[in-house]
Structure 1
């Protein structure tokens, strides 16, 4: 049950620079995961509202696409400055809306500002090339032009980073966007960035925000993807929902980027520094309570270093800050809601009932909190072996050989991110090339990220890449244009 606060604030659908209610007048609640109070109310849009928001984005398309590239670049750079200046504001909102910790909020601001600045540079990059031609006196050119309205579906877990990644390059290359933020975080995964961009001077209608109640999500998503004026779709979230988005995009012939779930492994080879590996893996597992798509789930350790690693890892886990999100050093704070915490508790209970050993933590959930937990003796019949945890539970596997480690790391339908720890760089590179994951890091953790890098998965973790240097082609149409500077002799 949710409890409204006295004087609960509200937002409207952001359409063409104005906030308006849903046509139905319905609203939905944005709930504080710790207190259960309603933090904010937002419109519960239906399919009938989708046309209005796409109308606004499409109306802004021609002018935004024609805006001088240097102007688009300057506006985005100003937005990055404003974002950094509002770090404290964002942190307060994130704590109340998602239970995200101060550490995680600071990373969201820092990474998002870097993403915007990196994307800003795309506005003034070359947009085509001169091609060789066999026709005398003809100039042949491949030219990239903005594609049109972009529909961006953004999750709650890394809200500002993932919203920025979904729209920054689209904006830099001249496209308007419709952001459909998470029902669990409409401000931090939608409105906050839209407000920053508007205050930086991005024209009305270029960035629009469409919110809905969870029960209406399927109809709203389908209507948005089906609108013929929407020319690009990107989605970050779970694999089951990603399959639906991909199917809809395919039906309507819309190019789509999907960044989906992961069952991310980190391999600790027998020549690794166990203490160094333990430090990196503790961050990769417990940052934001393990609620990052790149979080490590499976720690695969060769027996030669396993005892030393487990000792070092447990020592690190004991020092991980746990508790209130406001804590300066908290890594494991509240999860997004009590349902998520109960689900993680269920994974642990299933594993223990089937023979897993709890090395640290475990037990039932307490509201939206679940403690940092380490399991070993995990077997394939346990849910935690195959399901994405998306919570603060690490599973440690012991293997004898390097080949066993690689086989186990690849034994999953997912392929998002992985890492290898070793003191031999050549050996690490050889193992990395055998791992079937979109991102592989040697002597760094699976959550490692940079704004210019091609972030994306393989297998059931999706396809396509986010990243400033990799997204420009996705958000543009390539056209072939020729110009003859003399008359040709036609056969008729």
Structure 2
């Protein structure tokens, strides 16, 4: 089978019914390299007419794909995983140019994306119904599950392959067709790359479609995607601010939706923690991908009795992180996604310092899209950084006098995505986990822990609806009651 290579800088098209094509209007939009500010690739700036074409193509392809044997759907997805793994170097290069992601983060995206596709492809073989109890003599009563139809997947830029694979694989495995709306900041790595791989693997035309847009047109495009009569499910990963808009639109148009949103994730370092391990892993959980992961730790809450030791060891790790140079595979903290993001992080730090926070390391203004790794202490509730998701390379250290205080501080937020607890006592860790109001709790490992075989989702303002034990099979299917009276 002939495979296509995606290289840049170049121009890309919308992927509709298996064919790359320009927007009907001919308009394009620029995707810029965050590190240099140069245009990396141009993509079509879709309008609602292009949205209609993509969803119409997905709707037309749906009956044939839904009727495809489950084993065939699984085999095609596994073939795509093979091809994706073969293109690791290509993807890593594109991701560095498109998002300023470090080499290790780009390769981790492929590694986990491949694992997700392999595991989630097995959902094609999940049972499609069950026999129900009934009081009617001679009647067979059944709950029958069938694919829902066209799924709209709105994918962010920060973990582009991981989150794109998660958004569409189960939907495809159980027989749905998809329309991907990738991020304006990463149209290739959060949509077009995987769509092309799936096409090269043999997924039929129209089953996977991609619509790109200019940032100014995003509200109109997202509403058109959700409102379209053929759209049956909506899957969004991104900020809580935009998630609220998507949720309102989904409610307005009566479309079931999964929202995976932001977090203010805590790590609790208790008085009996392995401090060396906690310091090393907390530093990783804060600064990997320059803190631009929804699961990144935002608040490191340390018991007074180990705070001095933890802080010294944590700072040693942060000082050792190579920063800025994306040409080095060892770089941990690279540029942020754009200069706006870096300026926002600098503003959070500036606000905190003006109100009394202390800078233990780093600080200072942004330099274009780059903000240095920074560690703060003395943060109080009147500071913006205490409440807002940081989404950048800034660590905030808190000290508390007891485990109860640590839990109270960890839960004192509108978010509830991920958390972690460090303690040498497993039973104590489990008891703390029971009290934490987060969609996932990790004991003696980091908030950014991810596993293709584990459920993902948040509570409170971190989202609703989630990929549960069946990874969303129930969400991506309709259940009907069927009876047969013999």
Measured against the shorter chain, the TM-score band is over 0.9
Q: What residue is the counterpart of 2:171 in the other structure?
A: 170
Query: 2 CA distance for matches of 1:261 and 1:459?
Result: 10
Q: Does 1:203 pair with 2:204?
A: yes
Deviation at 1:469, TM superposition (A): 2.2
The answer to whether the Cα contact below 8 Å between 2:292 and 2:392 also exists between their aligned partners in 1 is yes
The answer to whether the Cα contact below 8 Å between 1:372 and 1:393 also exists between their aligned partners in 2 is yes
Q: What residue is the counterpart of 1:351 in the other structure?
A: 352
Query: 2 CA distance for matches of 1:21 and 1:109?
Result: 28
**TM-score, with structure 1 as normaliser:** 0.96
Query: 1 CA distance for matches of 2:185 and 2:469?
Result: 27
Deviation at 1:467, TM superposition (A): 5.9
Query: 1 CA distance for matches of 2:238 and 2:232?
Result: 20
Alignment of 1:56-135 (within 5 A): 56-135=57-136
Q: Does 1:276 pair with 2:277?
A: yes
Query: 2 CA distance for matches of 1:463 and 1:452?
Result: 19
Count of residues paired in the alignment: 479
Query: 1 CA distance for matches of 2:312 and 2:435?
Result: 28
Query: 1 CA distance for matches of 2:281 and 2:171?
Result: 33
Query: 2 CA distance for matches of 1:275 and 1:315?
Result: 11
SS at match of 1:235: strand
Alignment of 1:13-24 (within 5 A): 13-24=14-25
Q: What residue is the counterpart of 2:3 in the other structure?
A: none
Deviation at 1:48, TM superposition (A): 2.0
The answer to whether the Cα contact below 8 Å between 1:287 and 1:331 also exists between their aligned partners in 2 is yes
Query: 1 CA distance for matches of 2:323 and 2:427?
Result: 37
Q: What residue is the counterpart of 1:454 in the other structure?
A: 455
Deviation at 1:285, TM superposition (A): 0.3
Deviation at 1:326, TM superposition (A): 2.7
Cα distance change, pair 70–348 in 1 and its aligned pair in 2 (3 A): same
Deviation at 1:158, TM superposition (A): 0.3
Q: What residue is the counterpart of 1:373 in the other structure?
A: 374
Deviation at 1:134, TM superposition (A): 1.6
SS at match of 1:270: coil
The answer to whether the Cα contact below 8 Å between 2:170 and 2:471 also exists between their aligned partners in 1 is no
Query: 1 CA distance for matches of 2:44 and 2:238?
Result: 22
The answer to whether the Cα contact below 8 Å between 1:169 and 1:468 also exists between their aligned partners in 2 is no
Greater mean deviation of Cα atoms: 333-342 or 57-66:
333-342
For residues 271-320 of structure 1, what are the alpha-carbon distances to aligned partners after superposition, in whole Å with 9 as ceiling and x for unaligned?
A: 00111001111111001000000000100001011111101101111112
The answer to whether the Cα contact below 8 Å between 1:94 and 1:188 also exists between their aligned partners in 2 is yes
Deviation at 1:468, TM superposition (A): 7.1
Query: 2 CA distance for matches of 1:353 and 1:84?
Result: 48
Q: Does 1:150 pair with 2:151?
A: yes
Q: What residue is the counterpart of 2:342 in the other structure?
A: 341
SS at match of 2:456: coil
SS at match of 1:322: coil
Deviation at 1:47, TM superposition (A): 1.5
SS at match of 1:445: coil
Deviation at 1:8, TM superposition (A): 4.9
SS at match of 1:433: helix
Alignment of 1:44-443 (within 5 A): 44-443=45-444
Query: 1 CA distance for matches of 2:458 and 2:326?
Result: 30
SS at match of 1:179: strand
Cα distance change, pair 387–443 in 1 and its aligned pair in 2 (3 A): same
Query: 2 CA distance for matches of 1:297 and 1:251?
Result: 33
The answer to whether the Cα contact below 8 Å between 2:120 and 2:471 also exists between their aligned partners in 1 is no
Query: 2 CA distance for matches of 1:261 and 1:273?
Result: 29
Q: RMSD value over aligned CA atoms?
A: 1.0
Q: What runs of 5+ residues in structure 2 fail to find an aligned partner? A: 1-7
Greater mean deviation of Cα atoms: 72-81 or 468-477:
468-477
Query: 2 CA distance for matches of 1:244 and 1:481?
Result: 36
SS at match of 1:330: coil
SS at match of 1:141: strand
SS at match of 1:56: helix
For residues 381-417 of structure 1, what are the alpha-carbon distances to aligned partners after superposition, in whole Å with 9 as ceiling and x for unaligned?
A: 1111111000000000011011111111001011111
Q: What runs of 5+ residues in structure 1 fail to find an aligned partner? A: 1-6, 486-492
SS at match of 1:470: coil
Query: 1 CA distance for matches of 2:338 and 2:139?
Result: 63
Greater mean deviation of Cα atoms: 463-472 or 61-70:
463-472
**TM-score, with structure 2 as normaliser:** 0.97
SS at match of 1:432: helix
SS at match of 2:470: helix
